[in-house]
Amino acid sequence: MLNSKNVLWILLVAAATATSCKKNVTDAAADGGKFNRSVRATTPDNRPVPTVSKNIPNVISSDLTLDKDTLWYLNGPTYVTNGAKLTIEAGSFIKGKRKVNVTNNYPSFLMVTRGSQLIANGTDDAPIVFTSEQPAGSRNKGDWGGIVLLGNGHTNSGVMEIEGIQQGYVTSFNLPFPSTIEYGDNTDEDNSGSLKYVRIEFAGDVITEGNELNGLTLGAVGYLTTLEHIQVSNGADDGFEFFGGAVNAKYLVSFGNDDDDLDFDQGYQGSIQFAVAVKNPALGFSSSPNGIESNNITSPVVVTDPSRKTRPILSNLTILGTNTTPAPPSGVGTLFRVNSDYVLRNSIIGGFNTGSTLLTASVDEYYNNIVHGFTTSYAPTSFPPAMNVTAFVSSNTNNDLLLVDPFTLSAPDFRYVDDPFVGTSPAGTVGTNFTSLTVTHPGGALSAFTSTAYVGAFPSQNDARWDDTWASYSPNANTY
């Protein structure tokens, strides 16, 4: 016979079980992985900035080191030339001045010309920050121009002039035009330096449609260059744009940029693994804000080497628009245009009206992906079954993807849900496939593609996240 204490205990257990069964994805975000919640990525970065400040020289023609004990300002166009190396210490802050505060109203940007190098190696707990000169709460996209690396890598159009730079930006500093802003040759093993644990915030400059500076612009950058743990946030154009070259990259974050997150042009052939992107409706969008946009050329450029096609090798990406409609107008999660080849594997795309549009003449490799769209998951729909695409069409992105909390943009968590009371995201059940992943481009694969047991950029809520401590999802609240 049950006594009163036993009855009370049974009732309490039953109530707790009933409550647990009602958990949703948001509850999982609150509970999952609490032991490794970020100490900086989802909280303001309140590191103090140095009290001593200096302007960076507009022309750097010999080796220069920027120390972390000085607050450095980009005061208009800034060029690293003549084979010089610019080194930036871990933990440094560099602020770009707005046009209204620069002579001739020129944008502030940092350009590393062919043959020169930028060494900006932050650390997990001391990232390097490039941001607006404006105080917290007053920063806006396009406050300054961004970072441009130019190399001697191969393009399909010969030597090119990087977009977004007017002649006066160059000649005002007694530098030759257009040679200063040219990129491209035939040396894919070129080295433009190293960027690790770097944040680029409120950058970009739109001169005319199709003539812009991005957060990080890469012109024919070679594969000896290192790009790892880089975040571009709240930018006026693309997050990352690759014009030719063969540079590889790993651990990229594109957060709240108003145009494309990853843009490939002019015969880019490199490998990228682990990248996440998400749109921010509060900041607005361009007229065509895609997650990935891949072109063989950018009109009106003429192809001079038809054998060199744009062909990025991409794995473990999470490309997101919004959680519910309205999605970015006319934007596509991943858009591969005609003559742009591709390898896209082990990735998650969702939150756009159309998840993926593949306009190439023939299917290259689109394999083992999870694709969501509000109206269409992917087009054309005649992919071979062997491509192993898990497709959803619905009005709520995360009901299908089951990521922990990707659309709370002040503190997003892009890991996938793995909770006995909620379920397991398809990201953890689809599995990954690197079999026959051949990389024939000049730089080869990343040192090695990391084999994972999940698709998308992040593991489950029970595992550590690679954007922890160094990234920031509150760039306008940070007090630096």
- Residue 262 CA to residue 375 CA, distance in Å, equals 23
> What is the predicted pLDDT for the residue at 340?
86
- For residue 87, what are the CA distances in angstroms to 67, 181, 382, 417? 9, 21, 50, 40
Q: What is the pLDDT of residues 448-478, one digit of tens each?
A: 688 899 999 999 999 999 999 999 999 999 9
Q: Residue 143 CB: number of other CB atoms within 10 A?
A: 26
Query: How far separated are the first and last CA of the chain, in Å rounded?
Result: 67
> What is the predicted pLDDT for the residue at 73?
98
Which of the two residues, 225 and 38, has the higher pLDDT score? 225
> What is the predicted pLDDT for the residue at 386?
59
Mean pLDDT of 9-27: 38
Could you tell me if 149 and 182 are in contact, meaning their C-beta atoms sit under 8 angstroms apart?
A: no
The structure tokens listed for 351 are 């939150």
> What is the predicted pLDDT for the residue at 447?
61
Q: What is the pTM of this model?
A: 0.91
pLDDT above 70 covers a percentage of the chain that reads: 87
> What is the predicted pLDDT for the residue at 35?
35
The structure tokens listed for 470 are 């160094």
Backbone angles phi, psi at 100, to 5 degrees: -65, -15
> What is the predicted pLDDT for the residue at 445?
65
Question: 1 pLDDT band (50/70/90 cuts)?
Answer: very low
> What is the predicted pLDDT for the residue at 2?
42
> Going by DSSP bridges, is the β-strand pair 313-320/348-358 parallel, antiparallel, or unpaired?
parallel
Q: Would the pLDDT of 30 be above 80?
A: no
Q: What single string gives the DSSP state of each residue in 312-331? A: -EEEEEEEE--SBSSPSTT-
> What is the predicted pLDDT for the residue at 13?
36
- Residue 118 CA to residue 36 CA, distance in Å, equals 33
The vertex-357 CA angle with 418 and 435, nearest 5°, equals 55
Say if residue 306 is exposed, middle or buried (CB neighbours under 10 Å; 0-12, 13-18, 19+): exposed
Q: What is the pLDDT of residues 231-258, one digit of tens each?
A: 999 999 999 999 999 999 999 999 999 9
